[in-house]
């Protein structure tokens, strides 16, 4: 797997993953289990135990996961020194983010940590009651909030068709979630399609499917960040015609259930903070395939796609270990240089997000230009067949300013 290769590269010091003052290795994860109005006790305990006893040890992570009754203990981590030791914070089915972190200084420490490159994974109940903390709703959750969910007492009523997101832009089909950085999350989804023998690109899964007060895809510029766009990349949607959605909270044909978002960096040398959310995970059956929330065919292997794989790859994505190196800022454009090591000849993927025109160039250390692309706004570029040299310079020019990153392939 690429993650093992990434870890070995980090150990060898081949490239840096510094996030401002955040430590890069080994991956350290803080799991927030304390809950609010409704406690998903069995699901919280299952995920927390899975992270600490299975996934963490297997992947070489350090996982800190106080029990869901230990809200006071969790609060002690919400200061600058403690947060800077973690790459990712997971809100594990927590139905009251605002109710757990109540002190203004603790909240400010978390918000600053995010803006300096910290990664957040939100899981299911995290969307419930989240607007008790305005930063969570106004920024991280693209202005939306949980309103209601499908019934849990009817098997047929909670079985929804789920589809990896595809939208049409200017008459052309664009799959936003097909960006390279989401490939591993999508691979799990594709695996589930195969296990369910799906022929229409939709899989059927039961869950307590959430509705939201607004569609995150339509989120407008956030005043919190001075007009920076906050609409996330939608990862998958559900078909309201296939499950029992309460009439008062129907969202229509476009009903997102998972999405990802990058924050504008707090400083020129800071990385972009990342947030990724999945509404699936109400019941233990979402993970073990055996209880009430199991897939229609009762197959645990079918569950591995949208749940366990999303959990694993979502954490790596949030930690910026999906192959992405440093996030830097060049005038009115922000730059992510993404490196992949699966192919022998090396493939460099560069994602530029921001405004205005920009030029992306790849150079050898001696200054020879081996590739160049010109674009505007947000764009993804793939540079193949970079043979010969093992280290390159990636240079982004925007509005008369230049920023350069050293990349090892």
Give per-residue pLDDT as tens, 275-313: 999 988 877 777 776 655 555 444 445 655 678 888 888
Task: Mean pLDDT check: name the lowest of 64-78, 89-103, 311-325, 341-355.
Answer: 341-355
DSSP state of 69: T
What does the alpha-carbon distance between residue 35 and residue 280 come to, in Å, rounded to a whole number?
Answer: 17
Name 407's Cβ contacts closer than 8 Å, sequence gap at least 6: 15, 325, 337, 339, 348, 391, 392, 393, 394
Task: Mean pLDDT check: name the lowest of 104-108, 226-230, 322-326.
Answer: 322-326
Query: Residue 123 pLDDT more than 60?
Result: yes
- Over residues 213-236, the mean pLDDT reads 73
Predicted confidence at residue 90, as pLDDT, reads 95
What does the alpha-carbon distance between residue 47 and residue 44 come to, in Å, rounded to a whole number?
Answer: 5
- Over residues 81-88, the mean pLDDT reads 95
Predicted confidence at residue 16, as pLDDT, reads 24
The closest alpha carbon to 123, from 50, 44, 60, belongs to: 44
Residues 38-53: tens digit of each pLDDT: 778 888 888 999 999 9
Could you tell me which residue, 98 or 23, shows the higher pLDDT?
A: 98
| Residue 189's pLDDT band (cuts 50, 70, 90) | confident
Q: How far is CA 272 from the centre of its chain?
A: 12
What does the alpha-carbon distance between residue 356 and residue 383 come to, in Å, rounded to a whole number?
Answer: 22
Predicted confidence at residue 304, as pLDDT, reads 57
Query: Residue 341 pLDDT more than 90?
Result: no
Could you tell me which residue, 362 or 174, shows the higher pLDDT?
A: 362
| Residue 361's pLDDT band (cuts 50, 70, 90) | confident
Contact criterion met (CB below 8 Å) for 222 and 143: yes
| Residue 79's pLDDT band (cuts 50, 70, 90) | very high
| Residue 11's pLDDT band (cuts 50, 70, 90) | very low
Query: Residue 28 pLDDT more than 50?
Result: yes
User: C-alpha distances in angstroms, 210 versus 54, 246, 248, 351?
Assistant: 28, 10, 13, 31
Predicted confidence at residue 301, as pLDDT, reads 57
Could you tell me which residue, 386 or 260, shows the higher pLDDT?
A: 260
Which tokens go with 24? 């890069």
Task: Mean pLDDT check: name the lowest of 180-189, 314-323, 341-350, 373-382.
Answer: 341-350
What does the alpha-carbon distance between residue 369 and residue 96 come to, in Å, rounded to a whole number?
Answer: 52
- Per this entry, what is the length of the chain? 409
Query: Residue 23 pLDDT more than 60?
Result: no
Which tokens go with 335? 């730059």
- Over residues 86-109, the mean pLDDT reads 88
Q: Nearest 5°: CA angle at 31, between 234 and 208?
A: 50
Predicted confidence at residue 248, as pLDDT, reads 83
Count of CB atoms situated within 10 Å of the CB of 303:
26
Could you tell me which residue, 400 or 10, shows the higher pLDDT?
A: 400
Predicted confidence at residue 34, as pLDDT, reads 79
CA-CA-CA-CA torsion sign (112, 115, 121, 125): positive
Query: Residue 29 pLDDT more than 70?
Result: yes
| Residue 122's pLDDT band (cuts 50, 70, 90) | very high
Query: Residue 168 pLDDT more than 80?
Result: no
State what percent of residues in the chain have pLDDT above 90: 18
């Amino acid at each position: 797997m690429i993650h093992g290769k990434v870890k070995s590269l980090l150990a060898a010091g081949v490239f840096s993953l510094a996030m401002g003052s955040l430590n890069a290795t080994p991956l350290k994860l803080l799991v927030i289990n304390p809950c609010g109005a409704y406690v998903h006790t069995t699901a919280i305990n299952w995920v927390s135990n899975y992270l600490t006893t299975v996934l963490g040890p297997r992947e070489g992570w350090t996982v800190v996961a106080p029990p869901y009754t230990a809200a006071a203990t969790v609060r002690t981590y919400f200061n600058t020194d403690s947060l800077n030791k973690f790459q990712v914070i997971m809100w594990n089915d927590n139905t009251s983010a605002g109710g757990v972190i109540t002190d203004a200084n603790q909240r400010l420490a978390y918000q600053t940590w995010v803006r300096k490159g910290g990664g957040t994974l939100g899981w299911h109940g995290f969307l419930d009651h989240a607007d008790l903390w305005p930063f969570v709703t106004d920024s991280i959750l693209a202005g939306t909030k949980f309103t209601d969910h499908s019934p849990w007492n009817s098997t047929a009523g909670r079985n929804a068709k789920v589809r990896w997101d595809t939208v049409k832009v200017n008459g052309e089909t664009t799959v936003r979630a097909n960006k390279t950085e989401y490939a591993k999350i999508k691979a799990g989804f594709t695996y589930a399609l195969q296990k369910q023998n799906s022929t229409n690109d939709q899989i059927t899964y039961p869950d307590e499917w959430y509705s939201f007060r607004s569609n995150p895809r339509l989120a407008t510029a956030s005043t919190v960040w001075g007009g920076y766009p906050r609409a996330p990349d939608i990862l998958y949607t559900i078909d309201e015609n296939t499950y029992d959605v309460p009439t008062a909270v129907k969202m229509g044909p476009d009903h997102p259930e998972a999405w990802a978002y990058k924050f504008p960096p707090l400083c020129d040398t800071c990385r972009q903070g990342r947030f990724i959310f999945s509404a699936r995970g109400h019941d233990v059956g979402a993970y073990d395939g055996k209880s009430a929330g199991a897939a229609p065919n009762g197959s645990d292997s079918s569950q591995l796609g949208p749940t366990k794989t999303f959990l694993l790859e979502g954490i790596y994505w949030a930690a910026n270990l999906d192959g992405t190196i440093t996030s830097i800022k060049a005038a009115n454009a922000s730059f992510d240089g993404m490196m992949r090591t699966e192919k022998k000849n090396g493939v460099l993927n560069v994602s530029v997000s921001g405004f205005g025109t920009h030029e992306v160039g790849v150079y050898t250390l001696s200054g020879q230009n081996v590739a160049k692309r010109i674009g505007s706004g947000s764009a993804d570029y793939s540079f193949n067949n970079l043979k010969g040299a093992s280290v390159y310079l990636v240079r982004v020019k925007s509005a008369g300013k230049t920023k350069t990153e050293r990349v090892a392939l």
